[in-house]
Structure 1
Amino acid sequence: MQKTLLTSAALGAVMMGSAVAGDADALDASLIKTEKSFWDRFTFGTYGEIHANFWKDGGTEVDPHRIVLFADFQFTDNLKLVTETELEHSLEKRRHDASFTSTGVELKLEQAYLEYTFSDDLVAKGGLILAPVGVINEVHEPTTFYGVERPNVEVRIIPTTWTLLGLGVTQNVGTDWQLDGMFHGGNDTRGGSIRGGRSSYGIDLFTVNSDGNRFNQNNDSWAFTGRAKYTGIQDLKLSASLQYQSDMDSSASGTQDGVLGEVHGVYRKGGFQFIALGSAWEIDVESEGDSQWGYYLEPSYAWDTFIGKVGVFGRFSQYEYADLAVGSSSKKYTEYNLGGNYWINENLVVKADYLNQEIKGEVGGTEIYNLGFGWYY
């Protein structure tokens, strides 16, 4: 079933793009023409990151969080296959465990789609695609963002990394605008968290579950995501996304539709960068998780030194999140994050930061010191 859906989606992207382009002869030619030899059509790469987290009140986690291999194949000058396979949490040491274990190791297919380029301004794709929402959902390699862990607002509210089975089109309008549209399946929160409702295509290699099956696709739901990007102001990039889902919980009777809105801006001049992002859900459920939201502000500065590039950052975040799947009620979090990145070169980065997290209505807070190492080739 999944294979059939994937194949149909991929072929559909090409067909949809063909209709937009309206030039069948050019399409036929592009599907057979290439100037590259067979072996030159392959592109391989990898990225990954290893984290160590130290709680001030005790406990340590060490986690090879992800090791990723991506492989592309250029069928023709216009048509290519893009894949990304991910191994997560291999030999993880959890906070209160005495030793490393292999429980929970996951092998996941994060991306797998066909992409057809009609022109410099029009691209269509179909298959397993990343949702066009947020700052780091589509570009999330560890060398591209500050902090050992990804921002919790993007992790829990958006939720990064978010792969969907669908069809998408990107259209550039002039030099300042980019428009994205994507039809896809929806989340399946099953009475749980937004993050837990992400589609997941993979298996647990070592698992305590009965079958280890991680396939999670809400076949009862359809959804659409639209995004507009604007780059007409010097040094500033602005983006807004809006998503509608027809049913976010297959375990409940009736339909529970949901709407996600997200806006962000990235200002970059010289070594200075400032990110501001806000995102919110409105979900048709009769529970305290019907409205979940978050925002963060992140200034940073980086400069070149004789030993490599060094950068420092601060991040202030607030968000309201409910993980109903584990019995956690809706809570409001406030976080302060400070740290730095050291890029040995453009492909290798070492990170360190401090996180202070407070929960409204609860006494005390959580303090965590994080170290990490990442690569992207």
Structure 2
Amino acid sequence: MTKTFLSTAALGAAMMTSSFGGEVDALDASLINEKKSFWDRFTFGSYGEIHARFIEKGDFNGTDIDPHRIVLFADFQITDNLKLVTETELEHALRKNAGSSSFTSTGVELKLEQAYLEYAASETFTAKGGLILTPVGIINEVHEPTTFYGVERPNVEKNVIPTTWTVLGLGFTNNVGSDWQFDALFHGGNDTKGGTIRGGRSSYGIDLFKVNSEGNRFNQNNSSFAVTGRAKYSGIKNLNLGGSLQYQSDMDSTTTGSQAGTLGEAHAIYTCGGFQFIALGTAWNISDVRSEADSQWGYYLEPSYAWDTPIGKVGVFGRFSQLKYAKLSGSSSATESTEYNLGGNYWINENLVVKADYLNEDFKNKDTQKSLNFGFGWYY
């Protein structure tokens, strides 16, 4: 299996580098360049978001207050062409769940979200290896709260594309002309344990309030390999198109045999002045798993409009979504819902945003859930 994986990665690297003649220096000459001091080579930053959700579902009413994530990142420019990128995340600090009357520290997690080396071999070709975000969808790679509408990320890109989705792998990006970008990533697979996509995503962290092994979250199927390819096109005025295809050899380490899976995703983003329209669709097909998990899919449509004011930027949006996804193995059926989401963002400046929205989730064969959501986020 390892030999196959390495052979595939080598083939992919050869194909990607062939487009610019294979002129990749064996050693970056700036490795011994001392024009910058040690401390000048560091870049530090942070992003995060805090949410309050007022939820109604059947006879239940509750409030969920969640410091969802606080993220610190540090990059180190080793040479002019080589850098180290790291991102560490603290999640759910002192959260108040909707079914609880008090705040709790249970479930607080410290996670390593990204940690990789990136080498710019030329102006058009880069390679990176380590803990990398999978190139699928719109939100997964660019998920800072200032970059999207709504208090929470779109559920399609949360439960079908399990954002934030980090893997151990080796990736390549090649820009062809000014219009095309191609990405290839060779990586370990998910371990869904029955087909739960979000529960099976790779996760490298620890529950800070569990001292035994159950608190560790190093969830990757070591017997599986995966490959993801993506193409992006921006050659049409005001329009950006993208699509990804992924194959995994085995998505469940707890079941005999190989539960191979394929994921397809396509999206379009149209922008004209303050108007923007997003359309995204994605689907999984997984073999030899429970019937409610073999086919999982989702799509959403999102029009929005933003304009500048003397006190900041204001934007309003609507989002229509439909999705089907599997929960844990104990669930007797998949979750299927139709969603209507309306709200707005207020950017005090480009680094700070305040959000509010209303979400109606109409579940198949279950009570409808309605929520009024508020939040703010930062990125600098």
TM-score, normalised relative to structure 1: 0.93
Identify which of 212, 225, 230 aligns with 1:227: 230
Residues 103 and 208 in structure 1, CA contact (< 8 A), matched pair in contact too: no
1:175 aligned residue: 178
Distance 1:166 1:34 in 2: 31
Partner in structure 2 of residue 47 of structure 1: 47
Change (3 A) 1:122 1:223: same
Please state whether the residue corresponding to 2:33 is helix, strand or coil. coil
Q: Aligned to 1:196, what secondary structure does the other structure show? A: helix
Relative distance call for 1:280 and 1:189 in structure 2 (3 A) is same
User: What does residue range 139-288 of structure 1 map to in structure 2 within 5 Å?
Assistant: 139-207=142-210, 211-287=214-290, 288=292
| TM-superposed deviation, 1:327 | 1.7
Cα shift at 1:331 = 2.8
Partner of 1:319: 323
In structure 2, stretches of 5+ residues that fail to align are: none
CA contact (8 A) 1:34 1:75 kept: no
Q: 1 CA distance for matches of 2:182 and 2:191?
A: 27
* Secondary structure class of the residue paired with 1:35: coil
Alignment of 1:54-73 (within 5 A): 54-56=54-56, 57-73=60-76
Indicate which of 309, 316, 337 corresponds to 1:305: 309
* 8 Å CA contact retained: 2:184, 2:227: yes
After superposition, the Cα gap between the structure-2 partners of 1:280 and 1:83, relative to the gap in structure 1 and judged at 3 Å, is same
Distance 1:326-1:94 versus aligned 2 partners, 3 A rule: farther
Distance (Å, rounded) in 2 between the aligned partners of 1:32 and 1:275: 46
Give me the whole-angstrom Cα distance separating, in 2, the residues matched to 1:322 and 1:249. 14
Q: Give the Å deviation of 1:307.
A: 1.4
Q: In the alignment, which of 104, 115, 125 is matched to residue 101 of structure 1? A: 104
Instruction: Report the AA paired with residue 65 of structure 1.
Output: H
**Structure 2: which amino acid aligns with 1:310?**
V
Residues 327, 335 of structure 2: 8 Å contact kept? no
Residue 143 of structure 1 aligns to a residue whose secondary structure is helix
Equivalenced residues, count? 366
Is the alpha carbon distance of 1:25 and 1:186 closer, same or farther for their aligned partners in structure 2, counting shifts above 3 Å? closer
Return the letter of the residue paired with 2:299.
Answer: Y
Alpha-carbon distance, 1:216 to partner: 0.9
The question of whether the paired residues in 2 share the 8 Å contact of 1:322 and 1:328 is answered with no
Q: Distance in 1 between matches of 2:187 and 2:127?
A: 14
Mark the CA change 1:120 to 1:328 in structure 2 (over 3 Å): closer, same or farther. Answer: farther
SS of alignment partner, residue 29 of structure 2: helix
Letter in 2 for 1:219: N
Seen in structure 2, the aligned counterparts of structure 1 residues 328 and 200 have a Cα distance that, compared at 3 Å, is farther
Where 2:199 maps in the other structure, the secondary structure is helix
Cα distance, 1:324 vs. partner? 3.0
Q: Does residue 304 of structure 2 align to residue 294 of structure 1?
A: no
For 1:182, give the aligned amino acid: L
Query: In angstroms, what is the RMSD of aligned CA positions?
Result: 2.1
The answer to whether the Cα contact below 8 Å between 1:105 and 1:207 also exists between their aligned partners in 2 is: no
SS of residue matched to 2:329: helix
CA deviations over 1:99-136 (Å, ceiling 9, x no partner): 10000000000000000001110000000000000001
Query: 1:261-289: per-residue Cα shift (whole Å, max 9, x none)?
Result: 00000111111010000000000024221
**Matching residue's letter, 1:303:** W
Q: Residues 89 and 209 (structure 1 numbering): CA distance in 2 closer, same or farther, change over 3 Å?
A: farther
In structure 2, relative to structure 1, the CA distance for the partners of 1:328 and 1:138 (3 Å cut) is farther
Equivalent-residue separation in structure 2 for 1:274 and 1:113 (angstroms): 33
Partner amino acid, structure 1, of 2:152 = E
The CA deviation at 1:33 is 3.1
For 1:24 and 1:260, locate their aligned partners in 2 and report how far apart those are by CA, in whole Å. Answer: 32
C-alpha distance 40-208 of structure 1, shift in aligned 2 (>3 A): closer
Tell me the TM-score normalized by structure 2.
0.92
Tell me, what secondary structure is at the counterpart of 1:134?
A: coil
- Output the amino acid matched with 2:238: D
Q: Deviations over 1:144-182 (max 9, x none)?
A: 000000000000001110000000000001111000000
- Give the 3 Å change call, closer, same or farther, for CA 162–328 of structure 1 in structure 2: farther
* Preserved CA contact (<8 Å) 1:50 1:374: yes
Q: What percent of counterpart residues are identical?
A: 72
* Residues 248-272 of structure 1, C-alpha deviations (whole Å, 9 max, x = no match): 0000001010000000001111110
Question: CA separation of 1:79/1:330 partners in 2, compared to 1, >3 Å: closer, same or farther?
Answer: same
